Amino acid sequence: MRAGPGSGRLAVAWALFDVLRRVLPVVDLVHVQGHSSKNVIVAALAKLFRVPLIVHLQTSRHDEPPAVRGQGPLAWWSFAAADRYISVSPGLEASAVGGGIPAARIKVIPNGVDGSRFTPAAAAERRAFRAELGLSADLPLVLFVGVITPDKQPHVLLDAWATMQNDPATQSTVVFVGATNPDLFELGDRLIDDLQATAARLELADRVQFVQPTQGIEKYFRAADMLVMPSMREGCPNVVLEAMACGLPVVASRLTGATDAIIEGGTNGMLVEVGDTAGFAGAMAALLRDPELSARLGAAARRTIEERFRIEWVAAQWLAIYQVLTRP
């Protein structure tokens, strides 16, 4: 985009305005991912050029009415001006309706998964992926995938995992895959330092590994024995869907309208109350001690993805909405 007068946010806003005023007369629909300050300009120009506007509700709290209203009247107007809302979860749908968005303008379409990319690995494949990625071949592998932030609560996983390491039946390695650069605005602290210090203090650093984000994340899922997601807030977490597609048992925080809309505890995964370190340790230990349970939950997880979260089905749902909004 061509920057205009001013600097910083003003320059970005001008560049966005300049692009939109030129392209909106020839587009059929505007699809905005979540809510941000850009929505004011986008909504205003969409209305001016009479182009249908979709707002995709993806992130709990951030894309919910209380947070949007807190940004002022213009922010709320731009949010409420959408012709249609697509929510990735029942929880975000309920929040939007409770905040004043008409239920008739909202549809729930979850995130989708490419089942050919994210697929279960046979034992030999799992060993090969571990060798390729430099991961331990001797112990079960517990996986965390997500930005290392307080909201994702990686410390809950580390603390829970550490309590199991004196028992030979539950000894394992843990791999955290996610951005750790403290200069990123999303992080804002040195949580990674605390995690590394905890592992060193407990003399477990040799079994704790931190990996930066990768385009080959499916290799980590296919190398692991389980995924643990202790987050305190989520929309429709892709990491959970991708792990389930790979046939992994998932241990996740119980988040109303989010994870409990994907996982049925004890059937296709396990749900633990937010922040319950002992609960996470117990769930992980149960999977490590009982390979049959782990295999049963993993197989059911894969079936859940095939039945409800296939990317082909999700894409068809989106296409149907586009066709309705752009129909003459």
- Model confidence over 209-253: pLDDT tens digits? 999 999 999 999 999 999 999 999 999 999 999 999 999 999 999
Question: Does residue 288 surpass a pLDDT of 50?
Answer: yes
Predicted confidence at residue 328, as pLDDT, reads: 75
User: How many whole angstroms separate alpha carbon 14 and alpha carbon 23?
Assistant: 14
Return the C-alpha torsion angle 132, 133, 135, 137, nearest 10. Answer: -20
3-state secondary structure of 217: helix
Domains observed in the chain: 9-112+311-326 (3.40.50.2000), 123-308 (3.40.50.2000)
What is the band of 40 on the pLDDT scale with cuts at 50, 70, 90? very high
**What percent of the chain lies above the pLDDT cut of 70?**
95
- Model confidence over 137-171: pLDDT tens digits? 999 999 999 999 999 999 999 999 999 999 999 99
User: How many whole angstroms separate alpha carbon 254 and alpha carbon 151?
Assistant: 14
3-state secondary structure of 295: helix
> pTM of the prediction?
0.92
- The b-or-e profile of 203-218 (16+ CB within 10 A means b, else e) is ebeebbbbbeeeeebb
Judge whether 129 and 222 are in contact, CB under 8 Å.
yes
Phi, psi of 233 (to 5 degrees): -155, 145
Predicted confidence at residue 224, as pLDDT, reads: 98
DSSP tag of 50: T
Predicted confidence at residue 189, as pLDDT, reads: 56
User: How many whole angstroms separate alpha carbon 138 and alpha carbon 150?
Assistant: 31
Q: What is the mean pLDDT of the chain?
A: 93
